[in-house]
């Protein structure tokens, strides 16, 4: 079991541990991350080992100041600058061209890097005090359900790490939206709380009036351009049967999870609900999906992946 710490003393201990090359559980507003100091290649390699994640699956750099984006990147587009100025700090990750000094251990050998500025105050204070970016994938074992509390992190990888900083339950509950800013049009590679509608509105506000050019596309088909986002992911052991309408759910005694009502609340509890199925050894559950709009895209995406057969 890892030690779960909190408060100012816990934050100081976390900064100290990161500085000394340890990897620690760190709260963010989306899900808990497994953090390492980005410039410490050995610490970053341990993340891959602990998660059981292939070395080619790149990590997200978490920053606390805008100038850290400039340091990590090159050839930033104006659209990217606009997006981050509106959405940061918050649940948006941008893919940008990596500066030459960025470790290829973090980027999985790519010449692009994923960057986000979390809104969680605890994460901000830790990264600010450390003074350098941290990389942080979700703090779950590869392919498992992401953690939204310190206890989830402990249950999944507590045997492997020494320290988890408890910042309370995550406000949002699903991973950040990933937007590839190296392509034209921009591409949304992963849905999250910054919705496609948000991205369109922000980008459109910078396009010539009436041009109808919102220059955003959703990656809907073909192999994922964000490695690590395979079909079955975020998966509980239970078989999930998806329904678009509660009216089609058979009354067969299996539990029914409804995510079609308040989508904000649905996102917050999503992974907790999936974990509970496993804790209760439920073999099959019916899931009612929210409509495909706003945060509904992220919920449908995670639930479709959780339901996909091996």
Minimum CB distance to ligand TXA smaller for 14 or for 112: 112
Q: Which does 59 bind (CB under 5 to 8 A by kind): ligand TXA, Mg ion, none?
A: ligand TXA
What per-residue string of b and e applies to 176-189 under the rule 16 or more CB within 10 Å gives b?
bbbbbbbeeebbbb
Shortest distance, position 200 Cβ to ligand TXA, whole Å: 21
31 is an interface residue for ligand TXA by CB under 6 A: yes
136 is an interface residue for ligand TXA by CB under 6 A: yes
Task: Tell me which stretch binds ligand TXA (CB under 6 A): 25-33, 75-83, 276-284, 289-297.
Answer: 25-33
Q: Which does 112 bind (CB under 5 to 8 A by kind): ligand TXA, Mg ion, none?
A: ligand TXA
Minimum CB distance to ligand TXA smaller for 246 or for 264: 264
Shortest distance, position 89 Cβ to Mg ion, whole Å: 20
138 is an interface residue for Mg ion by CB under 5 A: yes
Give the β-pairing of 60-62 and 112-116. parallel
Residues in 47-66 at the binding interface with ligand TXA, rule: CB under 6 A: 57-60
93 is an interface residue for Mg ion by CB under 5 A: no
Shortest distance, position 304 Cβ to ligand TXA, whole Å: 15
CA distances from 101 to 21, 106, 153, 158, 271 (A): 19, 11, 31, 32, 36
148 is an interface residue for ligand TXA by CB under 6 A: no
Shortest distance, position 138 Cβ to Mg ion, whole Å: 3
């Amino acid at each position: 079991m890892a030690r779960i710490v909190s408060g100012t003393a816990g934050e100081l201990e976390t900064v100290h541990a990161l500085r000394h090359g340890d990897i620690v559980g760190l709260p963010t507003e989306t899900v808990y991350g497994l953090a390492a100091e980005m410039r410490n290649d050995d610490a970053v390699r341990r993340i891959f080992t602990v998660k059981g994640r292939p070395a080619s699956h790149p990590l997200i750099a978490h920053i606390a100041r805008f100038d850290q984006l400039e340091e990590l990147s090159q050839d930033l587009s104006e659209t990217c600058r606009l997006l981050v100025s509106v959405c940061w700090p918050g649940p948006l990750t941008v893919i940008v061209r990596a500066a030459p000094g960025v470790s290829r251990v973090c980027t999985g050998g790519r010449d692009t890097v994923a960057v986000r500025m979390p809104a969680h105050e605890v994460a901000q204070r830790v990264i600010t005090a450390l003074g350098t970016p941290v990389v942080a994938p979700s703090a779950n074992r590869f392919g498992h359900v992401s953690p939204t509390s310190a206890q989830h992190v402990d249950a999944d990888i507590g045997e492997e790490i020494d320290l988890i900083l408890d910042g309370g339950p995550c406000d949002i509950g699903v991973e950040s939206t990933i937007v590839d800013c190296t392509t034209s049009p921009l591409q949304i590679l992963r849905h999250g709380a910054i919705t496609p509608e948000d991205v369109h509105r922000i980008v459109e506000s910078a396009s010539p009036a009436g041009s109808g050019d919102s220059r955003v596309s959703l990656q809907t088909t073909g192999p994922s351009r964000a490695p690590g986002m395979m079909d079955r992911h975020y998966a509980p052991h239970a078989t999930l049967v998806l329904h678009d309408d509660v009216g089609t759910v058979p009354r067969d005694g299996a539990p029914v999870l409804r995510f079609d009502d308040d989508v904000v609340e649905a996102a917050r509890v999503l992974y907790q609900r999936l974990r509970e199925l496993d804790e209760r050894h439920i073999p099959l559950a019916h899931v009612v999906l929210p409509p495909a709009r706003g945060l509904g895209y992220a919920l449908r995406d995670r639930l479709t992946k959780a339901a996909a057969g091996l």
